[in-house]
Structure formats: structure tokens, C-alpha cells
Amino acid sequence: MGTISGTLSKHPNAVVVWVDAHADVNTVSTTPTGNIHGMPAAFLLGLPSTETVPEFAWLTQSKTIPKLHTNSIVFIGLRDVDPGEKKILKENGITAFGMHEVDKYGIGEVVERALDAVNPHRDRPIHLTFDVDALDPSVAPSTGTPVRGGLTFREGHYICEAIAETGLLAALDLVVSLLFFFDVSSLKCFVSLQEVNPSLNDEFDAQQTVSVGCSLVRSALGETLL
């Protein structure tokens, strides 16, 4: 929430491409678990009942941080969405591409449709938030919320490559691990590296996940195969 809020403060017209197995758009009223980590998109969108959580009044009651509009966020890779979240997505007209659409159309077409939905003229800054649980657990096993049937290694990288090709990347969240070492002094966009306890799996799994995360960041920042 903090990074996207920061992006919106700097670029009020920014769009968010949210790559995740989960929609994270539950509200206080719809959450089946009460876990805040399943609600960040709802807080950013200012959905009903989010204002009842005093810990996030800095966001929901802010006069300076723009709210994220429902037509400025698009989801890719969803496959574990709660019933309340499905209703929220449909009622608010939020564009979302689940793994069904990835299988049906291919990742190239999905990314194009996603960008067309939120950034049709390719003239708005992009905040990319990429949770590694969007990837299949066989690719990134060290995550607290694994869901089978996710993006392949190449599908995940294609998303990052395609965003890089737009030249519009303003900020990047990679929800994977704190065990990264990058020289970010020359970057023109903000990179946030977050979450996951490598002890969730054995050392090999943790190293595999960290390696994939590093590779995704490089791709989003413009590294190409050729």
C-alpha cells in the first residue's frame, strides 16, 4: 500500500498492473480470514468499510494521496479468489485476467489486453506489483501462499519484459524476499523488494525463489534475452 500510494502521490495518473495469484481486494466486510494482507487493493481503491480500520487512516482519510481508480488497475494471473472478491471485481468493473485467460489467449495477448484496459494510449506511468506466488510453485516454491496452476517461468518474465518495453515503468514491487542486493543508484524508477520468509522451505527452494525474483527484476528494468 505504501509504495503504490507513493507512486500515486508522485504520478496521480499512474496505472497499476497487479500480478498475483490472489486479488487482495477483500474488505473488512468480505474477508473470510480477517488477514490484512488480503486487503491492500481494497484500501488503495477506498472501497466501503476500509475506512473503519484506524491503522490505515493515513491512506483512507488522506487529503493528499489520490485514490486508485477502478479503471486504473488490472490483475494478471489470478487463480485463488474469494467469493466476496469476485463480486467486488465484477461490481466495480475491475479488469482481471485469471489463469483461464492466460491458458486461452496466451500471455502475450493477455498483457496487451491488460495494458489496453488501463493504458490504451500508452501514455500513463505504470506501477508493476508482482507477487511471486503468481508463478507456479514449481518455479517459485518459497512462498507462504502457494497455489498450483500458476504462471510459468517464461510467462512471468514476459510480463516484466513487456512492461519494460513500454518505457513507462515508474515503480516496481516484487513480493518475494529481502535477500536481494542491487545497486539502485542509477534507476529512474522506484524498486521495492518485499516479504516471504525463506525458512518456509528448504535452502534450495529459497535460493531458487530468490534467483527467479532477481531475474524478474532485471527483466522489468530492461534486461533482454538478445
pLDDT digits (tens, 9 = 90+) for 23-71: 999 999 999 998 888 999 999 999 999 999 999 999 999 989 999 999 9
Segment 201-214 mean pLDDT:
83
- The pLDDT assigned to 196 comes to 47
> What order do you get walking across the sheet with 190-194 strand by strand?
95-98, 73-78, 15-19, 126-131, 169-175, 190-194
Residue at 175: amino acid letter = V
Q: Is the pLDDT of residue 117 over 60?
A: yes
Bridge partners (DSSP) of residue 16 are 73, 127
CB 165 within 8 A of CB 6: no
Bridge partners (DSSP) of residue 193 are 174
H/E element, 116: helix 107-118
pLDDT tens readout for residues 5-14: 999 999 999 9
Q: How confident is the model at residue 192 (pLDDT cuts 50, 70, 90)?
A: low
